Amino acid sequence: MNYHTKCPICNSTNLLVLEKYKSNHLTKCTNCNFVFCKPIPTVEELNDYYAEYSYGGDYFVSPITLKRYKEILKGFEKYKKNNRILDVGCGNGLFLSVAKELGWECYGTEYSPKAVELCRNRGLTVFQGSLADVINEIPVVDIVVSFEVIEHVSFPGIEIENMSHALRVGGVLYLTTPNFNSISRLLLKDKHSEITYPEHLSYFTASTLTRLLKSKGFMKKRIETTGISISRIQSAITTKKENPFQKNSTDEKLRAGMESKWWLGAIKQVVNAILNITRKGSSLKGLYVKLR
Structure confidence by residue, pLDDT tens digits, 50-59 = 776 656 555 6
What mean pLDDT is reported for the chain?
A: 91
Question: Which pLDDT does position 139 carry in this prediction?
Answer: 96
Question: Which pLDDT does position 58 carry in this prediction?
Answer: 57
Which carries the bigger pLDDT value, residue 89 or residue 248? 89
pLDDT band at 83; cut points 50, 70, 90 = very high
User: What mean pLDDT is predicted for residues 40-47?
Assistant: 87
pLDDT above 80 for 239? no
Question: Which pLDDT does position 236 carry in this prediction?
Answer: 73
Indicate the DSSP class of residue 80.
Answer: -
pLDDT above 90 for 232? no
Output the pTM of the full model: 0.93
pLDDT band at 176; cut points 50, 70, 90 = very high
pLDDT above 60 for 133? yes
Sheet bearing 105-110, strands edge to edge = 125-128, 105-110, 84-88, 141-147, 167-178, 283-290, 218-226
